[in-house]
A = this chain, B = another copy of it.
Amino acid sequence: MIDLVKNLAAVNRRTKTSVIRELLKLTNKPEIISFAGGLPAPESFPAELFADIASDILKKNSMTVLQYGPTDGLPELKDQIIRLLREDEGLIIKPENILITTASQQALDLVGKTFIDAMDPILVELPSYIGGLQAFNAYGAKMIGVKDDDHGILVDDLEQKLARLRDEEEHYKFVYIVPDFQNPSGVTLSEERRRKVVKLAEMYNVLVIEDSPYRAVRFEGKAPHIMYKLGRSGNIISLFTFSKTLAPGLRLGFVVAHEAIIRRMSILKQSMDLCTSSLNQMIAAEFLSRGHYKGHVASLCKTYKVKKDAMLEALGRYMPEGVTWTKPEGGLFLWVRLPEGMNADELFYEAVKENVAYVIGSAFHCDGGGHNTMRLNFSYPSPEQIDEGIQRLAKVIKANLVKKGEKPKAAALTR
């Protein structure tokens, strides 16, 4: 066997298997109710429509759908994306502003590959999407965490970090933000802060990576503008996906950016997978052009809202005092904060014993913090499972409160 230690690239050699990966292995028992996944509800997949479309396009258009396509994406899908962004976001863009990707994760990898040299500082939220952190980590980025609250990234903290880096004559590459129903926190960046972030980015001449996979999955409330629309200097790169609106199995996403950036990314994408599956691109393009998209997303939002409400209700009913959580208006996740000093990493093993699972919040923190937090997914389990699972989780948390020597509150025990 080859000497791996000697042969691995340096960054890769230093990459450890993710903690989450190891923890998730413990959650594979059928009796576990898992809030740990990030899976869309499979019962919502438009399988019948896809079956008809796939059969049609394979019979009528196989020369295109089974062949290599252009690296930047099929024109048919780009046209639909342009229409969608015009109708939903009031955004006017050209095909040259779009790069179709093998879903959002490839877009994140592309962002890393395009901009990051080892040790380059980048600014990320506390907490931030773990897949983004992994993608940037693989290029040796130096993560600098910026604090979040229930309205998204703290603009003052962001400005402070930007100013410090400038004073150090350091060359920061970008600010990475998940502005809508953030993974993991479920929080949405407010309109006011979006404008401030965009202004700061222009002032400091730094890129903003707007990663918004859940944008279209809004159940309630009013959407702030996408950041791309607020910027005027071509320094915002926005990432979207069809994984949460159509299906992850298609592996389809897209980047919206200045055409000079798309051109650069497109050259790199060629070395990464030549092009994204033409078949899958045409399935999505047909689904959109036949007019199925809006109705489908509306029905999806209805399903998810029921589940989200079920989770909020269960949290209210079962959780002891001192535990708080976010109230997302969309997306797949919410975020639970345990009392300071309680450790969700340690609690995980006890939760699994009680047949309930979550993702430890510390995994989303580049600064080693967040040990009293956890991410709960509400899109995959049924409302009944949600109720039962939260009940189990509350039991574990209460037992832990007691163990820590705190007198259990009567209210919490009788609930």
Binding site for B on A (CB under 8 A): 1-4, 6-10, 12, 15, 17-18, 39-40, 42-43, 45, 47-48, 50-52, 54-55, 58-59, 62-63, 65-69, 102-103, 105-106, 108-109, 113-117, 120, 131, 134-135, 137-139, 171, 173-174, 205-207, 233-235, 243, 247-251, 258, 260-261, 264, 267-268, 270-280
Q: Given A54-B54, A261-B4, A277-B251, A109 and B62 touching (CB < 8 A)?
A: no
How distant is the Cα of A63 from the Cα of B332 in the complex, in angstroms?
A: 18
Q: Given A8-B114, A268-B12, A62 and B39 touching (CB < 8 A)?
A: no
Contact across chains for A277 and B250 when beta carbons are under 8 A apart: yes
How distant is the Cα of A206 from the Cα of B1 in the complex, in angstroms?
A: 10
How distant is the Cα of A120 from the Cα of B10 in the complex, in angstroms?
A: 11
Q: This chain: how many copies in the complex?
A: 2
Contact across chains for B274 and A277 when beta carbons are under 8 A apart: no
Contact across chains for A58 and B62 when beta carbons are under 8 A apart: no
Contact across chains for B271 and A249 when beta carbons are under 8 A apart: no
Contact across chains for A279 and B249 when beta carbons are under 8 A apart: yes
Q: Which residues of B contact A7 (CB under 8 A)?
A: 115, 173-174, 207
Q: Which residues of B contact A108 (CB under 8 A)?
A: 271
Q: Which residue of B lies closest to A4 (CB)?
A: B260
Contact across chains for B272 and A6 when beta carbons are under 8 A apart: no
Q: Which 6 A-B pairs give the minimum distances between C-beta atoms?
A: A47-B62, A66-B247, A51-B58, A66-B249, A54-B54, A1-B234
Q: Which residues of B contact A47 (CB under 8 A)?
A: 58-59, 62, 66
**A251: contacting residue among B39, B52, B267, B273, CB under 8 A:** B273
Given contacts A2-B234, A105-B272, A131-B274, 13 further A-B contacts (CB under 8 A): A7-B173, A7-B174, A9-B113, A9-B117, A12-B113, A39-B68, A45-B62, A51-B58, A51-B59, A69-B249, A102-B251, A138-B268, A248-B278
How distant is the Cα of A280 from the Cα of B283 in the complex, in angstroms?
A: 12
How distant is the Cα of A50 from the Cα of B279 in the complex, in angstroms?
A: 11
